[in-house]
């Protein structure tokens, strides 16, 4: 029982100790919050609020300040006393060991402190912003006054540089000064919201005025001195050139130049109205037109010199082309009697003649225009340049045609000589075969021979027509040359096979009685020779058997044949050797 009692006492002591420790913790927390409360810059805020109260404020700015003062009053009369009361109540609860109530009041005090700190910071920021805006507006008033004074000095000292725009500029400046006075008034009254709106417009309008003051002098100088001087020079130049007989691509260029003074006046009117977009557009348009008129007159003067130089050269070129065309036409007419001209040479020459006639007509028209002072020299020069190009093309093409047809007579003679050679060669091949007194020739050889003979006959007929086509003749010559070469090879093969076959059949007689196979082969070879006229097959038949009976005999007899003939054996195709 005693031990239980002792345990209870110890437990009570521990609990009491814990309560004391927690009590001290809460009291320290409350003390910290109270210290933070006491550190709040209420005096600085009071001073700032007092300064705001002394400011003369109107409009929405006054409404904002009144709302600010209401918040300040609520802070002083409600928030701060409530925070103090919460701290006192929490401290009393802690001392009475009402720890749960103390903890609740501590939480409320912490929240109230945070809200109070935020409120003070917000009020301070609003007051600082208000004071800053007030200072900025006062500084802006002074800066604008200084700027307007400088602008007015510029306009007074350099009013000659602004011409008719000076009155408008001074009016604009006066309006800005009036607006600045209104801005100063709003600032002094403390209506900073309206003052800020007016300041933004003032700054925009001031920038626009400064831009005009900078832009106008060079524009006015152009309108007052540069453009009039250039227009006067253009008028004098145009009058002088017109008196000398110059004409221009633009028939109304004289009127256009005279109208430039009206555009100068329009530019000055726009300057008077300070319509800068119109003034800029007018300046650009006048600059471009004046440059264009200068350029036009310079081109016409330069073109006249070139045109004058080209007249004699072009006349000779046209005469040369006409003479060349006449000679070509005569030659084509003559050749057309005997030859077929199938590349439209005659038609092309006639087209060239018409082109030359048109070029000459244009040339004569330009001469008349120059003599009557109606010529636009740049246009004449362009026609001369094109005419020279066209004449050059015509000359080159006429030379090409002349070169192509000039060799027709020579080509015809060469073709006749070649035809004669073909006929002689054909007859020579025929005599080679006839001299052998063969029993006949194969149908294949005879057909090919007849084809070549007919080709030569057709060529002979075509070349003896009244009007011949040399292009077609040339094609026939090439074809016949190839076919004759093939016929010559076939003839050589036929002659060699026939003569060798006869020699081998005679040579084989020495073996006919002793070798039945030789007798049979000899009989078959003779049949192929006499009846089928297949001399190559006949040769192959007897040669094969002889080489079996007497190896090397065919090669010896063949070599001896070609030796006596004075030629060598034609190499056999590779495909045949492989077989």
Question: What are the tens digits of pLDDT across the range 5-18?
Answer: 556 666 555 454 44
Please state, for a pLDDT cut of 70, what percent of the chain lies above it: 67
Question: Whole-number mean pLDDT of the chain?
Answer: 78
Please tell me which residue, 300 or 179, carries the higher pLDDT value: 300
In this prediction, residue 576 has a pLDDT band, given cuts at 50, 70 and 90, of very low
In this prediction, residue 219 has a pLDDT band, given cuts at 50, 70 and 90, of confident
Global pTM exceeds 0.85? no
Q: Reply yes or no on whether the pLDDT at 577 is more than 50.
A: no
Please tell me which residue, 2 or 503, carries the higher pLDDT value: 503
Instruction: Note whether 276 and 210 are within 8 A (CB).
Output: no
Concatenated DSSP letters for 424-484?
A: HHHHHHHHHHHTTT-S---HHHHHHHHHHHHHHHHHHHHHTSSSB-HHHHHHHHHHHHHHH
For 269-294, what is each residue's pLDDT tens digit? Answer: 998 888 888 989 998 999 999 999 89
Report the Cα–Cα distance between both ends of the chain, in Å, rounded: 139
Question: For position 58, what pLDDT does the model report?
Answer: 45
Please tell me which residue, 578 or 49, carries the higher pLDDT value: 49
Q: Token digits for 293? A: 């008129």
Looking at residue 249, the DSSP 8-state letter turns out to be S
Q: Reply yes or no on whether the pLDDT at 54 is more than 60.
A: no
Burial 256-288 (b: 16+ CB within 10 A, else e): ebeebeebbebbbebbeebebeebeebbeebee
Instruction: Note whether 547 and 511 are within 8 A (CB).
Output: no
Question: For position 57, what pLDDT does the model report?
Answer: 46
Average pLDDT over residues 457-462: 88
For 226-251, what is each residue's pLDDT tens digit? Answer: 989 999 998 999 889 888 888 888 88
Concatenated DSSP letters for 253-283?
A: HHHHHHTHHHHHHHHHHHHHTT-HHHHHHHH
Please tell me which residue, 32 or 391, carries the higher pLDDT value: 391
Please state, for a pLDDT cut of 90, what percent of the chain lies above it: 31
Determine the distance from the C-alpha atom of residue 47 to the mean position of all C-alpha atoms in its chain, rounded to a whole number: 73
Burial (0-12, 13-18, 19+ Cβ within 10 Å), 403: exposed
Q: Reply yes or no on whether the pLDDT at 336 is more than 50.
A: yes
For 103-149, what is each residue's pLDDT tens digit? Answer: 655 565 556 556 565 556 565 655 555 555 555 555 655 665 666 66
Question: For position 275, what pLDDT does the model report?
Answer: 86
């Amino acid at each position: 029982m005693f031990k239980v009692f002792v345990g209870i006492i110890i437990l009570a002591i521990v609990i009491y100790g814990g309560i004391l420790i927690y009590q001290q913790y809460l009291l320290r927390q409350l003390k910290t919050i109270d210290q933070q409360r006491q550190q709040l810059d209420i005096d600085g805020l009071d001073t700032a609020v007092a300064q705001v109260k002394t400011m003369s404020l109107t409009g929405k700015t006054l409404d904002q300040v009144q709302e600010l003062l209401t918040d300040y009053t609520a802070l002083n009369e409600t928030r701060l006393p409530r925070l103090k009361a919460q701290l006192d109540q929490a401290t009393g609860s802690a001392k009475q060991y009402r720890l749960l109530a103390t903890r609740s009041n501590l939480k409320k005090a912490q929240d109230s402190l945070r809200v109070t700190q935020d409120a003070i910071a917000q009020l301070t920021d609003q007051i600082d912003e208000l004071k800053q805006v007030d200072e900025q507006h006062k500084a802006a008033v002074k800066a604008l006054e200084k700027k307007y004074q400088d602008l007015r000095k510029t306009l007074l000292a350099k009013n000659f540089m602004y011409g008719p725009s000076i009155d408008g500029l001074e009016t604009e400046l006066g309006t800005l000064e009036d607006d600045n006075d209104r801005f100063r008034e709003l600032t002094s009254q403390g209506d900073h919201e309206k003052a800020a709106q007016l300041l933004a417009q003032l700054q925009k309008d001031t920038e626009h005025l400064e831009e005009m003051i900078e832009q106008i002098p060079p524009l006015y100088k152009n309108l007052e001195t540069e453009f009039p001087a250039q227009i006067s020079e253009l008028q004098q130049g145009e009058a002088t050139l017109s008196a000398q007989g110059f004409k221009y691509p633009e028939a109304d260029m004289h009127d256009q130049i005279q109208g430039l003074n009206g555009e100068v006046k329009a530019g000055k009117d726009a300057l008077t109205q300070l319509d800068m977009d119109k003034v800029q557009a007018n300046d650009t348009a006048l600059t471009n037109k004046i440059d264009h008129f200068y350029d036009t007159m310079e081109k016409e003067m330069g073109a006249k010199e070139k045109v004058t130089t080209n007249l004699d050269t072009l006349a000779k070129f046209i005469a040369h082309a006409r003479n060349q065309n006449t000679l070509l036409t005569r030659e084509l007419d003559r050749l057309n009697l005997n030859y077929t001209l199938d590349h439209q040479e005659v038609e092309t020459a006639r087209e060239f003649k018409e082109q030359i006639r048109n070029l000459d007509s244009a040339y004569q028209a330009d001469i008349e225009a120059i003599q009557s002072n109606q010529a636009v020299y740049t246009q004449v020069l362009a026609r001369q340049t094109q005419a020279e190009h066209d004449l050059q093309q015509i000359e080159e093409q006429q030379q090409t045609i002349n070169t192509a047809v000039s060799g027709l007579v020579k080509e015809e003679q060469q073709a006749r000589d070649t035809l004669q050679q073909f006929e002689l060669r054909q007859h020579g091949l025929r005599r080679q075969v006839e001299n052998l007194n063969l029993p006949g020739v194969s149908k294949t050889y005879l057909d090919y021979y007849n084809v070549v003979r007919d080709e030569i006959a057709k060529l002979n007929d075509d070349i003896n027509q009244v009007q011949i086509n040399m292009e077609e003749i040339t094609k026939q010559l090439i074809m016949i040359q190839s076919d004759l070469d093939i016929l010559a090879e076939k003839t050589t093969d036929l002659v060699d096979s026939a003569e060798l076959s006869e020699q081998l059949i005679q040579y084989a007689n020495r073996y006919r009685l002793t070798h039945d196979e030789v007798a049979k082969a000899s009989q078959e070879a003779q049949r192929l020779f006499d009846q089928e006229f297949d001399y190559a097959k006949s040769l192959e038949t007897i040669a094969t058997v002889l080489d079996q009976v007497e190896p090397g005999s065919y090669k010896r007899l063949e070599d001896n044949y070609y030796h006596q003939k004075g030629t060598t054996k034609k190499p056999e195709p590779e495909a045949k050797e492989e077989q």
